[in-house]
Amino acid sequence: MLHSRSRFVRADRCFGLGLLVVLLPLMVLPERECAAQSREIVFTDVAKAVGLEFQHYSPLTPERHLHLFMGSGLGWLDHDLDGWPDLYCCQGAAWPARPETSLARSNQLFRNRQGQFENVTSVCGLKNFEYSMGVAVGDFDNDGFPDLYVSSFGPDSLYRNHGDGTWSEVIGQPVLNDERFSASCTWTDIDGDGDLDLYVTNYLKLDRANYPLCSSVEGGKRIPGGCHPHYQPHEHDLLIRNEGDGTFSDISKAAGLLAETPRAGLGVVAGDFDEDGDQDFYVANDTVNNQLWMNSGQGTFTDEAVTMGVAVNGLGVAGAGMGLAAGDVDGDGLTDLFVTNYFNETNTLYRNDRVAFTDVSAEFGLAAPSRQRLGFGTSLLDANHDGWLDLFIANGHVQSYPPELDRRAPFAQLQQLFLNQQGVRFQEASAKAGPYFLKPVVGRSSAVADFNRDGRADLAVLHLNGPVALLRNEFAGPARSLSLRLIGRAGNRDAIGARVELRIGDRKLVRFCQGSQGYLSTDERLVRFGLGEASQVDAVTVRWPSGKQETWGELSAGQMPAGQTRTLWEGTGVAN
């Protein structure tokens, strides 16, 4: 049953000289804030201009083998710790599989040299010719350098970063080379031992030797297409425990993940959704109920998706869940959840009402604009630095219908940008967000980073069988923002699972240090706050994964150059 709570209705538009009309109470918005909100947000694709030349490769067969339509992911990481985020792009592969040696057919790592990119895949030792799906970035050995887990349609791989520019695959542990059809994956510490563990979603059980093929007859013509996932056998997800000594164990059964029937998992995000101090998992499943695996703190998980209101949408219907985003979109300090779904469905925004979640997709203006889109990747970012999380959605179909059928379900689709109107509604801004948003593409994965260190949140977007896009944020308003790099000592070094609260006067902003989210992707591991016109941050409070809580006071945002990042070490703040 979905629960709801009453709220005051708050309007979100600027009128005339800055009057903000609400029902209760009546408030006046300063002119300068109204002017700032009216500035348009524009993104420009600069991938080629900065040397980021990656072409996704997934040649579609006449039979339309299903996995070839799913696309691949990308992840931001600072692989050499020079302070500039590098980009790892997963690559597809032909089917049937054939031997490949060309760098263009491999996953690729692009090193960021002060805003310009260089392909360093070969010298780093990161060639991978599987059909790669997702990427999770995490420092599994706590040596200070980010490592990579890559899921695949085929054997998965874990790569260790040696810190000298080279990488190597961790071998000799079968659990790390699971050969099921895996998708999104994420690192987090599930047992509080300071070592990052790994959750991997698994999708369909496809027999490679007897690959299921389907077709339909429309307009008197037989149309090949991928077999509907609802009628294919599904797979259980995989939970891997980091033993802290370089070895890993499959604890999926012991943790309770096999207690239910398998689901077709595509997206996963970790977070403390019930605020009890440990990490839970929310999983987006294709055509069947989503799952909310709640951590008991004793090594086991229970699916509470039905009781917490996030198994299905507000109409009681399961969607074709693909991508996930988690963050505080309404400013109440709690983690809300957003799921992308299929064409002729709607994407779903679940508001965290503490005791349960409520489907507020229509209320927040996200339902109708998504009905004629098929959403995959999704990212939360503060595009205009007003302190509210905005929303990007990468769209693209999984069927390419012949034009004569007039199905009005285009394969290539327009991408979408929604601006957060002070936590009560989203307003679509796609039409004015730049030329990229006016050209249909087959969007798949998206990930956020400030690649040029100008203080603005940028986006990388991977397209099926197309070039990667790097969307530079060119918002003309104040670029004042605060990015925090958290380094854990008592808990995992990446501080994945930390909760960060920033106070500016009477206003409190909450962000979370997360592993992976979106669809097959990982954002840059910085906790970023848009500050608007504020020139000073009164305090930053971090609740670390270890359970410790510390506060840092009076950070002068007005004196910080655009893009500056502050590093907070666990144990150096004021304990509280």
Which pLDDT tens digit goes with each residue over 534-571? 878 999 999 999 999 999 987 755 555 555 789 999 99
Cα–Cα distance for residue pair 295/550, rounded to 1 Å: 24
In DSSP terms, 338 is beta-bridged to 325, 349
191 Rama sector, left if φ>0, alpha if ψ -120 to 50, beta otherwise: alpha
Beginning with the edge strand found earlier in the chain, give each strand of the sheet holding 248-250 in spatial order: 182-188, 197-202, 238-242, 248-250
Predicted pLDDT at 454: 92
Which pLDDT tens digit goes with each residue over 426-474? 999 999 999 999 999 999 999 999 999 999 999 999 999 999 999 999 9
Count the neighbouring beta carbons within 10 Å of the beta carbon of residue 62: 6
Which pLDDT tens digit goes with each residue over 330-356? 999 999 999 999 999 999 999 999 999
DSSP 8-state secondary structure symbol assigned to residue 204 = B
Note whether 433 and 43 are within 8 A (CB).
yes
Beginning with the edge strand found earlier in the chain, give each strand of the sheet holding 116-119 in spatial order: 74-77, 86-89, 108-113, 116-119
Predicted pLDDT at 478: 73
In DSSP terms, 509 is beta-bridged to 502
* 3-class DSSP state of 307: helix
Q: Which long-range contacts (CB under 8 A, 24 or more apart) does 394-398 make?
A: 394/323, 394/443, 394/444, 394/445, 394/446, 394/461, 394/519, 395/443, 396/71, 396/441, 396/442, 396/443, 396/444, 396/463, 396/464, 397/343, 397/442, 398/66, 398/69, 398/70, 398/226, 398/374
Nearest CA to 479 among 561, 390, 379, 389? 561
Q: Which residue has the tokens 């990446």?
A: 494
Burial class (CB in 10 A: 0-12, 13-18, 19+), 416: buried
Predicted pLDDT at 405: 61
Predicted pLDDT at 384: 95
Mean pLDDT of the chain: 91
Cα–Cα distance for residue pair 92/106, rounded to 1 Å: 8
Predicted pLDDT at 480: 83
Cα–Cα distance for residue pair 100/157, rounded to 1 Å: 17
Which pLDDT tens digit goes with each residue over 125-176? 999 999 999 999 999 999 999 999 999 999 999 999 999 999 999 999 999 9
DSSP letters along 166-197, please?
-EEE--S-GGGG--SBEEEEEEE-SSSSSS-E
Distance of CA 32 to the CA centre of its chain: 32
Mean per-residue pLDDT for 15-29? 32
Residue 558: what are its φ and ψ, rounded to 5°?
Answer: -65, -25
Global pTM value: 0.92
Predicted pLDDT at 9: 34
Regarding beta strands 499-504 and 537-543, do their DSSP bridges make them parallel or antiparallel, or are they unpaired? Answer: antiparallel
Beginning with the edge strand found earlier in the chain, give each strand of the sheet holding 43-45 in spatial order: 43-45, 469-473, 458-463, 443-449
Burial class (CB in 10 A: 0-12, 13-18, 19+), 469: buried
Which pLDDT tens digit goes with each residue over 41-73? 999 999 999 999 999 999 999 999 999 999 999
Confidence of residue 479 (pLDDT cuts 50, 70, 90): low
Burial class (CB in 10 A: 0-12, 13-18, 19+), 382: buried
Which amino acid is residue 81, in one-letter code? Answer: L
Cα–Cα distance for residue pair 433/450, rounded to 1 Å: 18
